[in-house]
Every structure is written in C-alpha cells, then in structure tokens.
Amino acid sequence: MKTCFLLGASGGIGQAIAKKLAQSGYSLILHYQTNQYAIEQLCKSLPEGSVLQTVQCDLRNEPSINEMVEGIEFPVDTLVFASGTSLVKLFQDVTSKEMDDLLSIHIKSPWLISQRLLPHMIKQKQGHIVIISSIWGEVGASCEVVYSSVKGAQDSFVKALAKEVGPSGVHVNGIRPGFIQTDMNAQFSSEDLAEIKEEIPVGRLGKPQDVADAVEFLVGAGSSYIQGQMLNVNGAWNG
C-alpha cells in the first residue's frame, strides 16, 4: 500500500493533489490547518476507503506539529507539502510575528515533519518528499519579499536533503508553480487576470490540476533518476 501524508490538503492545490493520488491508488492522510469543511467535502469526493486519516494542525506551533506527527497511525512513504500562506505588503511594514509565521509554516514545519518521518523511509530504502514552492522562490516578487525568501529556502532544503538521503533510496524534489487559479489569488480582478494571462506564453492561467499532475510524476516510477530538482510549472511565465 502506498501511503501519502499530504500537508495543506484543504487548499486548491492540495485538493487537486489528493484527488490525483487517490486515482493513482494511494491511501491518504490529509492535513488541514483551519478549513475542516473543505476537508470533509474533499473526503466525500474521493474513492471510498482512500482516506486513512485526517489531522488538524497549526503549522505555526511546534507542540501542535509534534502532537500531529505522534498521532499518525500509518507508516508514510510519500510526504507532500502543499501547505502555505502568502503575504502581500511592503517589506518595511512586515511585522516580526508575520515573519515568524511564514518561517514556521514554510520552513520549520517541513524540517520537523520530514525529520520525524524520514527514518521509516530510510529503513525501507524508498520514499518520496515533494515540496510545493513557488516561482517567487526563484525570481522574487516585489511586495512579497518575506514569502519569496521562505520559498527560496524551501528550494535549498530540497536540493540539500536530496543529496543527503538519495543514497538511502529516498527521493526529494519540489515544484515551483507559476500563477495558479486558487483562493490565494482571489484578490485579483478580472482585468488583472486578463493582463497576467497575456504575459503567459502558453496562453492560459495555471490550474491546480497542473501541479497535481507534476506531483504524480515526481512520486512515480518514471522519475526515478530525478533527484533534488525544482520543476517549474508556470507556462514559461517568469513573473
């Protein structure tokens, strides 16, 4: 049985990943931070028996993370981090609390959770870790300086951990989505969206399904020689 622990399953990208992996025969452990209703609706849409467990956890809180991991009832061989929150404001207006929150959600929680779940993968000589980063982790974004910074750190985490655990049969890779139509981008007007679409060479906005397809590839047998890579899923848009 292939078991995936999916962090951030209640978001648009997380839901698409859950549906894709369930279709591919994965059993799922689904995490959410606050949106229990979204998780309940997602579970109803998935094949019967595919969801092993749902867990709630505030990824800003280390004791909460420890409690969640201790409550995982099944061995995990695939770990996908799709959780995250953006922050759009001038850098000089960002508070220390906001900095700490983004650091915890995007960097420290993947560190802590991976650290706890890696021993099983290493013992089994197989496993996958996939981080959903962002185009801004590579090119940076004005008014998203802190978000861009933590996404860049995620990219480095992928590259470094892949070298460390590759000899043990564990694959670590990441995905940098471009503009994906999710609630995180709900603040954009129809005019804004039309302008962005004009800038994207493939001529359309990204869909959560585009990211889910990439995740399915990275955790599948066809990517066995891909390690420590950040896959850009952006329609050749550079922000």
Q: Which are the catalytic amino acids?
A: 147
Q: How many CB atoms are closer than 10 A to CB 105? A: 21
User: What tokens does 105 get?
Assistant: 């959600």
In whole angstroms, give the CA distance from residue 5 to residue 69: 10
Q: Are 41 and 19 in contact (CB under 8 A)?
A: no
CA angle, residues 206, 29, 178, in degrees to nearest 5: 15
Taking the mean position of all CA atoms in its chain, how far away is CA 130? 7
Our CA dihedral for 159, 54, 15, 211, rounded to 10 degrees, sits at: 10
Distant-in-sequence, close-in-space partners of 175: CB < 8 Å, separation ≥ 6: 130, 131, 132, 133, 211, 214, 215, 218, 230, 231, 232, 233
Instruction: Find tokens 């994906």 and name the residue.
Output: 180
Integer-rounded Cα radius of gyration of the chain: 17
